[in-house]
Homo-oligomer: A and B are copies of this chain.
Amino acid sequence: MEKKSNLKRRSGCPVSVSLDIFGDRWSLLIIRDMMVRGYRTFHDFLHSGEGIATNILADRLHKLEAVGMLTAEPVAGDGRSTHYRLTAKGIALAPVLLDLLIWAAHHEDTAAPCSLIAQMEQNREAILAETYRRWEQRDPTPLIPHFTAPLNPKVKPRKGRKKP
């Protein structure tokens, strides 16, 4: 179910183009979930801690698929479920996510342990390599744990589905 995205670009600047694609409060969290936590399903993303709404999640998954950041594939053995997976283009955002992680851990109060951050700064290349390896081999074990408990625990949705 791929749809072409008629994404409007505000300018040719690469930073601007990036933000045209994922410059919002949710897209990078979904990408984070896939990249470092090994999440794959709608249900996984829904319960990842920040409390995204079901309609927003569905919308972002479709948009990110449309711009080639991820793919959706039916799960063999369970006709209800879909596995979302980053494309090569999507996994290539790993350095951005890592630097974002390091920046916030240094300049804001976060749940990331200092020891872990220090380790990530020192082993930047190794961590990126491992991230890429996990993606290639479809290894779903978490690279980074789901830190603390969510500060904002909310989730309760139920039903509705599109026709297969």
Contact = CB atoms under 8 A, between A and B. Distances in A.
Interface of A: 9-21, 23-26, 28-29, 32, 49-51, 89, 92-93, 95-97, 99-112, 147-148, 150-152
- Copies of this protein in the assembly total 2
A61 to B, nearest CB: 17
B106 A92 contact: yes
B92 A18 contact: no
Contacts of A110: 12-14, 17
Nearest to A111: B12
Nearest to A51: B10
A49 B14 CA distance: 12
Contacts of A150: 10-12
A19 B14 contact: no
Given A11-B147, A14-B104, A18-B104, 13 more contacts: A9-B151, A11-B50, A12-B147, A12-B151, A13-B111, A14-B102, A14-B103, A16-B49, A18-B103, A19-B28, A89-B107, A92-B107, A96-B96
